Structure 1
């Protein structure tokens, strides 16, 4: 009898170990192991894009300072806003961007590849694409769903959530991915889509209930709630954009903000539409070879994609 009990315990232990091993294998495959769908994004965009060449002011003389860049009618100006004191301090980095053409705002994927779990530091991806300014994107590579259109090219067509589309005419709109297709968006002039969210400002007003929204940010982790580091994009009008990165998890320097507080910042900047991007340790603003903010991980976190402006 005692022997059978020991055998039963051993069998149960082995079963648990197998389940645990199986779960670990599944988790590694789903969240860690790279799955490359497009091995050379540059070549893919050249072959599939209607016009993947950004409209740049090549003949214009560029002006670059510690916190600004101007080339023709494209400009980037970065400012820092600090509010509160002590443990209630909030530090936000604001980049006001004016584009000569919507296609000047581009997206780049880590390692020039598209797929799941492909990552690189924001600085690495920015430098590989001759960027002068960049922010982290929506970390599309964590997910296997969502509509992904970048630089006028369709990469994924699997509507799942509330997205943001930026059109070639410089306007933008919040939309329900499940009610359209990537091709329909492309036909309407989509240049870039972002799939994270939620929308935090619409028609110039803070969207109600955004502090209770859950986003699939991580396996079993809905850390989008509460005071967190944040990255957001806001549209003031056609070809006039602001990016906001708020640092967090750093008492005395910046506690982070709630979603509603992030929306309030955006409204104060005059946006008509604003959309939340990947945050937490991913939140990063990069300019002219330097990380502008203080990422909460103590350094850059590898992400799957960036939004950037090239020199």
Structure 2
């Protein structure tokens, strides 16, 4: 017997005993799995990017630390950090020892820049009544203030020209215990313009703006003395005739000079018509800046430069500010408290520039204010009877 004859035929298997077709079970759908190739390709791309970044970082480090041009950029970055509230970050670029050495070197340089005797003279325009009728018809009187927009590599700002230096007074806060915004000082006193003045104790960059550094002199009177009677300090101010005074002086020397308005700050950048900062390398980083200068005709120049705002204005070095002053005819110029304190205000308290402080306009102890009638300005001494050691600069 053929063994194959006992096996069911294909048709019987398909139809079964009744001869009916069996329903075939539906085919299983293959599960969707992410191709391994795509996943491994993604990781390879990420790995390549990381490798490129590591290589670029290594090349950048080699460039910054081992080439002259890279070194310049490295120290520019460090100097920029030194002028901010994050000074300690500079140690990650140049080390703590180099940071300390650099700060000390700048301090010595600034002191030396204030030593040379200033011999500049000014020729104020004659009073209206002193000129004859013909001259008065030919020459139109200059406005008290003029504002000019300026810009340079990476910065934008303003030059405020005060054509009569005798119309400037040093403003101080209206109440004890806390500084005052310059916009508030201008509006409160009726000034036509105002610029931030001298430095102040500022613990953790959150100070109340009430404790000045050094001295404050307003209307010929010593309002605040933080240096004693014998020590000298770097001051920026104006004497009774409208001549700008800047440099290192004792209180007795300032009295002999007939100082009228003054704050402590440094460095003096221009003396006897000569710039003291020789190059960008000595410019002390990039930051918002404020400075005061004077032309031979007596006009006072305030340079206000915004900073720390990428896309608008990164800031300027002291060398940049010095060059702006020289281009505008300054024969003497000195730095004022800049950074987040930098502000230019016009009549009514309108802020002209863009201050960089994340907390808004800062509370300050002093500001140079311009008045049409300065003899009418009411600026009382809010520090009278207070000792510097009794003032808490961090108290809110």
Q: TM-score range by the shorter chain?
A: 0.5 to 0.7
Does 2:370 align with 1:309?
Answer: yes
Pairs within 5 Å for 1:212-231: 225-231=284-290
1:151 corresponds to? 219
- Alignment counterpart, residue 291 of structure 2, candidates 229, 232, 257: 232
Q: Within 2, Cα distance between the matches of 1:83 and 1:210? A: 16
Shift of 1:266: 0.8
Corresponding residue of 2:242: 170
In terms of fraction of residues, the more strand-rich structure is: 1
Q: Which residue of 2 aligns with 1:248?
A: 307
Counterpart in the other structure of 1:108: 171
**CA offsets 1:95-122 (integer angstroms, 9 cap, x no match):** 11111xx442001111255xxx631111
Other-structure match for 1:161: 233
Unaligned stretches of 5+ residues in structure 2: 1-126, 128-140, 203-210, 373-396
Distance 2:293 2:337 in 1: 14
Question: Please, which of 304, 319, 331 is the counterpart of residue 260 of structure 1?
Answer: 319
Instruction: Compute the displacement of 1:235 (Å).
Output: 0.8
Are 1:294 and 2:294 counterparts? no
Structure-2 separation of matches of 1:164 and 1:230? 15
Change (3 A) 1:170 1:119: same
Alpha carbons of structure 1 residues 160 and 140: separation in structure 2 relative to 1, 3 Å: farther
Which residue, 91, 113, 120 being the options, matches 2:180? 120
More moved, 167-176 vs 268-277: 167-176
Q: Which of 247, 272, 277 is equivalent to 1:203?
A: 272
Check conservation: 1:247, 1:254, Cα contact below 8 A: yes
2:174 aligned counterpart, secondary structure: helix
Q: Assess if the C-alpha contact under 8 Å between 1:170 and 1:238 holds in 2.
A: no
Rounded to whole Å, the distance in 2 between the matches of 1:129 and 1:186 is 26
Q: Aligned residue for 1:129?
A: 189
TM-score normalised by length of structure 1: 0.64
- Aligned-pair CA distance for 1:149: 1.6
- Once the two structures are TM-superposed, the CA of residue 268 in structure 1 deviates from its matched residue by 0.9
Q: Which has the higher helix share?
A: 2
Task: Find the counterpart in structure 2 of residue 12 from structure 1.
Answer: none
Residue 189 in 1 paired to residue 258 in 2? yes
Alpha-carbon separation, structure 1, partners of 2:182 and 2:236: 21
Q: 1:171 to 1:234 in 2, by over 3 A?
A: same
TM-score (norm: length of structure 2): 0.51
Work out the CA distance in 1 between the residues paired with 2:237 and 2:150.
Answer: 28
> CA separation in 1, counterparts of 2:311 and 2:366?
30
Number of corresponding residues = 220
Q: CA deviation at 1:303?
A: 1.1
- List alignment gaps of at least 5 residues for structure 1: 1-56, 58-71, 214-223
Alignment CA distance shift 1:185-1:160 (3 Å): closer
2:144 is matched with 75
